[in-house]
């Protein structure tokens, strides 16, 4: 691959290098810059690399100011400002390396769905306002606030579906004014959002950004900015002279007071506007009647540290996705949300920042150097993947608080790739009171190896493994791996467990007709969807315990699982060789045909379960009749319409793959033939045929999978063993023969399962699918902590219908919904009444 940098950003192609970043794909293009997904060789991560036009780099004054302002912007401490990793000049090219964000931008969101719900719009504006006020406090003015610069990181959190990052700080809009590079208007603001004082060249401050934010808010709520005109001159005239239009006239469902709020923020004179962007956001929420979101902004330590330099400092180059025993396909098993890309923004959180987060400033002094490593540290060569012993290497690393010194060769990559355990860090025995870190060293991802937490530090080409034993049994929600005991997998049986039947559980039913199977509930809990064979039924929460059926949508062969996209905008119903996509808003509003399209694959049948990645970029469908799983580019399908091009490939699996779960790094698929397939999510997105990293024996008929809240335990219902099984997710990949850590006899043919009470209990649907006269269909309630401790864990049974299949807890955790395939009903139960 060539190290030569082409003359213009548009000429950079895959394989080109800029400042040590290897270009992978162009993901954005503007008049003065191009944005690429690039690979950071020093820190083994993907970044968004913005490369500025050569005309800017040719101006010495601009280059110097660019560095100063980039440094100032990177120093702003707010969780809603896009983290900048590096900025500078390399071989005459000015660049900025930023975090890669996967959820798209607000511009694309509006283009896709039109005006946003008031609550979602207010939340986006509030987070953007937080970023702007933080910048204003440091004397920075953004000057180009617009929906396209508001990036969304998708989340499955119910009360805040998006985390917003404001991008393009530090791109020196003022520098362009100084150098006269204003011909395109690219950096001096966008006309639809530009304040009057900015057009006239008068002094600007935070109120200028507030005006642009108000224009963006107007567009979020109405679908277009306030002064949309056919040409640029007309837009400028309107911004300067025309009063703001009535938002309520364009959207009559909004409260009457909203126009007063927007009128003040869009005042022509800065002094007439709100005192700060947060003040405007708060007034907007009040005007819309929207409460403040319940989830706090993410802490700053969830973001990677930023280093700004005139040029990327030299340093050791880490192996690029070297193959390891845990990841033969060369996948990058970064934590959830890390290492993914998105065409509109800057995505993929730095794996190092999240991994190193447990270390406090007291633990990792900036002045610490490799010379502080205790001389007693024992060298130990890391064996190649094929020769590695059972988990527990290397050498002295098994001793609590000891430091092992290992080589940092190519095979070293397998050591620092792994899960993040819950154990903290410990200082080396007899050494300094802190792990070692300096400007020329990097903390790598902690890894649990044989019950030991290994935290690796690179320094001077040597890897120091600081370790600490993981303790505690782990309850499935503690952040720790389950205990080190292991069990043998069960065989086939028709035995029925015994437990007390609870008779005081409040319940109610709603008839759906057909054969109800899959259930999906919108993030706000207002609507539920049920697959019934040849239709999807729409249920609405009307205040009672059980929802009310309001609509039937005909969808041939939609008789299996349903899954909503994390933002709740689309519903995917497993069907044929893929899935049918339904527009949720149209479905609940009664549109004649809410079916958006269909994902199909060239072969295969028996679509059973659907999983959608947190960023909504990809969809996975298990094909029960075909021993494989289909992978689709969901973003392409939703933005360009469904077509054969959406299909990416197949993941080869075991016999009759059905249930699927994911922690954002790995996929876990239950195969009725008796195994669990562990799949690298990232590799499956790019090369599905090579993405299976392990196939583990898992009883007689594993059917559904369910991850604990901390992703350390995979709970599997075994329909032919009549048991609930618990597997250590780490050992499924590293020590599969000892991965099974708990077994609970629950009842006849257990199928669906759901976590309740904050993950303390699991409810299982005992279907009695075989119709044994000695057994009954019911719900089994299991205590998670007791199960993992090896104690009797079956708390009791709850009477249900004739053949329960799926179990789903509604958002908020108050109600449990159970589909009954034989009675044609959905049962709602009060979770607080469960045993």
Higher pLDDT, 682 or 391: 682
Hey, what are 728's tokens? Answer: 């250590």
Q: Residue 595 forms beta bridges with which residues?
A: 582
- CA 129/CA 265 separation, integer angstroms: 12
- CA 336/CA 617 separation, integer angstroms: 14
As annotated, the active-site residues are: 144
788 phi, psi to nearest 5 deg: -70, -25
Which pLDDT score is estimated for 611?
A: 97
3-state secondary structure 390-428: CCCCCHHHHCCCCEEEEECCHHHHHHHCCCCCCCCCCCC
Hey, what are 291's tokens? Answer: 């409460």
- Calculate what percentage of the chain has a pLDDT beyond 90: 47
What are the distances in angstroms from CA 516 to CA 5, 138, 656, 778, 814?
Answer: 59, 57, 21, 16, 22
Higher pLDDT, 407 or 566: 566
Residue 146 has pLDDT above 70, yes or no: yes
Q: What integer is the mean pLDDT of 626-642?
A: 94
Domain locations along the chain:
106-288, 375-429+441-471
Least confident among 497-501, 727-731, 770-774: 770-774
Q: What integer is the mean pLDDT of 695-716?
A: 93
Q: What integer is the mean pLDDT of 716-745?
A: 92
Instruction: State yes or no: cis peptide before 483, omega within 30 of 0.
Output: no
Which pLDDT score is estimated for 64?
A: 72
- CA 446/CA 472 separation, integer angstroms: 18
Residue 368 has pLDDT above 50, yes or no: no
Which pLDDT score is estimated for 57?
A: 65
Its pTM stands at 0.51
Residue 53 has pLDDT above 80, yes or no: no
For every residue of 286-298, DSSP letters joined together read: HHHT-PPPSSPPP
Higher pLDDT, 121 or 812: 121
Q: What integer is the mean pLDDT of 585-590?
A: 94
Tens-place pLDDT, residues 653-705? 999 999 999 998 899 999 999 999 999 998 999 999 999 999 999 989 999 99
Q: Indicate the average pLDDT of the chain.
A: 75
Higher pLDDT, 447 or 224: 224
Least confident among 408-417, 452-461, 558-567: 408-417
16 phi, psi to nearest 5 deg: -70, 155
Higher pLDDT, 159 or 367: 159
Tens-place pLDDT, residues 224-234? 999 998 888 88
Please check whether residue 799 is in contact with residue 781, taking contact to mean a CB–CB distance below 8 angstroms.
Answer: no
Superfamily of domain 106-288 in CATH is Transferase(Phosphotransferase) domain 1 (1.10.510.10)
Please give the sequence-ordered ranges of beta strands (E in DSSP) within 122-206, or none if there are none.
150-154, 162-166
Tens-place pLDDT, residues 590-620? 999 999 999 999 988 999 999 999 889 999 9
Q: pLDDT tier at 3 (50, 70, 90 boundaries)? A: very low
Residue 222 has pLDDT above 90, yes or no: yes
Which pLDDT score is estimated for 421?
A: 28
Q: What is the edge-to-edge ordering of all strands in the sheet holding 519-521?
A: 519-521, 527-531, 535-540, 548-554
Least confident among 181-185, 414-418, 733-737, 741-745: 414-418
């Amino acid at each position: 691959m060539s190290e030569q940098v082409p003359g213009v950003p548009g000429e950079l192609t895959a394989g080109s290098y800029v400042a040590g970043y290897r270009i992978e794909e162009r993901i954005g293009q503007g008049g003065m810059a191009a944005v690429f997904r690039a690979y950071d060789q020093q820190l083994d991560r993907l970044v968004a690399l913005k490369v500025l036009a050569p005309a800017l780099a040719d101006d010495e004054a601009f280059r110097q100011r660019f560095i100063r302002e980039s440094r100032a912007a990177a120093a702003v401490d707010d969780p809603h400002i896009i983290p900048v990793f590096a900025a500078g000049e390399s071989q005459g090219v000015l660049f900025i390396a930023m975090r890669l964000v996967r959820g798209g931008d607000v511009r694309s969101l509006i283009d896709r769905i039109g005006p946003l719900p008031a609550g979602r719009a207010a939340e986006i504006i509030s987070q953007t306002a937080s970023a702007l006020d933080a910048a204003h406090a440091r004397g920075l003015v953004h000057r180009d606030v617009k929906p396209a610069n508001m990036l969304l990181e998708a989340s499955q959190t119910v009360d805040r579906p998006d985390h917003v990052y404001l991008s393009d700080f530090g791109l020196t809009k003022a520098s362009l004014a100084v150098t006269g590079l204003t011909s395109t208007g690219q950096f001096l603001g966008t006309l639809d959002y530009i304040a009057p004082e900015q057009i006239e060249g008068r002094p600007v401050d935070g109120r200028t950004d507030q005006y642009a934010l108000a224009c963006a808010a107007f567009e979020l709520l109405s679908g277009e900015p306030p002064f949309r005109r056919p040409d640029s001159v007309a837009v400028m005239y309107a911004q300067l002279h025309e009063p703001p239009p009535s938002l309520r006239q364009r959207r009559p469902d909004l409260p009457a007071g909203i126009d007063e709020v927007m009128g003040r923020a869009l005042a022509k004179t800065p002094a007439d506007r709100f005192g700060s962007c947060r003040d405007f956001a708060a007034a907007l929420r009040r005007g819309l009647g929207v409460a403040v979101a319940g989830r706090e902004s993410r802490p700053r330590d969830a973001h990677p540290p930023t280093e700004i330099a005139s040029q990327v400092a030299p340093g050791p180059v880490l192996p690029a996705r070297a193959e390891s025993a845990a990841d033969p396909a060369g996948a990058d098993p970064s934590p959830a949300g890390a290492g993914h890309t998105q065409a509109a923004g800057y995505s993929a959180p730095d794996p190092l920042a999240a991994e190193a987060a447990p270390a406090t400033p007291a633990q990792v002094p900036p002045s610490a150097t490799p010379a502080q490593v205790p001389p007693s540290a024992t060298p130990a060569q890391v064996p190649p993947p094929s020769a590695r012993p059972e988990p527990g290497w290397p050498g002295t690393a098994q001793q609590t608080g000891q430091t092992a010194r290992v080589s940092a060769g190519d095979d070293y990559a397998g050591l620092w790739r792994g899960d993040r355990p819950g154990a903290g860090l410990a200082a080396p025995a007899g050494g300094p009171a802190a792990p070692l870190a300096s400007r020329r060293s990097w903390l790598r991802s902690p890894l649990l190896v044989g019950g030991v937490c290994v935290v690796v530090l690179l320094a001077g080409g040597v890897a120091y493994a600081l370790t600490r034993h993981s303790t505690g049994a782990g309850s499935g929600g503690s952040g720790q791996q389950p205990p080190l005991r292991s069990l043998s997998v069960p065989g086939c049986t028709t035995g029925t467990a015994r437990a007390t039947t609870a008779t005081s559980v409040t319940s109610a039913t709603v008839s759906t007709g057909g054969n109800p199977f899959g259930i999906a509930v919108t993030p706000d809990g207002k609507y539920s969807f049920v697959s019934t064979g040849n239709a999807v039924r729409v249920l609405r929460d009307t205040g009672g315990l059980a929802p009310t059926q309001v609509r039937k949508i005909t969808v041939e062969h939609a008789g299996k699982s349903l899954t909503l996209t994390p933002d709740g905008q689309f519903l995917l119903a497993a069907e044929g060789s893929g899935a049918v996509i339904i527009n949720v808003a149209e479905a609940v509003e009664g549109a004649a045909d809410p079916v958006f399209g269909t994902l199909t694959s060239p072969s295969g049948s028996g679509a059973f379960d659907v999983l959608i990645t947190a960023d909504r970029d990809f969809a996975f469908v298990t094909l029960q009749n075909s021993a494989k799983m289909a992978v689709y580019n969901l973003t392409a399908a939703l933005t360009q319409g469904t077509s054969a091009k959406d299909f990416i490939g197949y993941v080869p699996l075991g016999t009759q793959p059905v249930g699927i779960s994911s922690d954002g790094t790995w996929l876990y698929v239950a195969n009725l033939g008796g195994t669990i397939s562990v799949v690298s999510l990232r590799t499956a997105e790019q090369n599905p045929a090579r993405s299976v990293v392990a196939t583990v024996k898992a009883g007689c008929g594993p059917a559904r999978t369910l991850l604990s809240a901390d992703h350390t335990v995979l709970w599997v219902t075994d329909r032919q063993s009549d048991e609930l099984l618990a597997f250590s997710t780490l050992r499924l990949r590293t020590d599969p023969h000892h991965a099974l850590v708990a077994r609970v006899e629950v009842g006849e043919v257990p199928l669906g399962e759901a976590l309740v009470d904050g993950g303390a209990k699991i409810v299982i649907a005992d279907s009695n699918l075989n119709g044994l006269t000695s057994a009954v269909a019911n719900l089994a309630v299991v205590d998670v902590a007791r199960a993992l401790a090896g104690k009797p864990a079956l708390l009791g049974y709850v009477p249900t219908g004739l053949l329960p299949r799926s179990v789903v807890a509604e958002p908020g955790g108050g109600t449990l919904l159970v589909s009954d395939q034989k009675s044609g009903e959905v049962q709602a139960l009060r979770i607080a009444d469960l045993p």
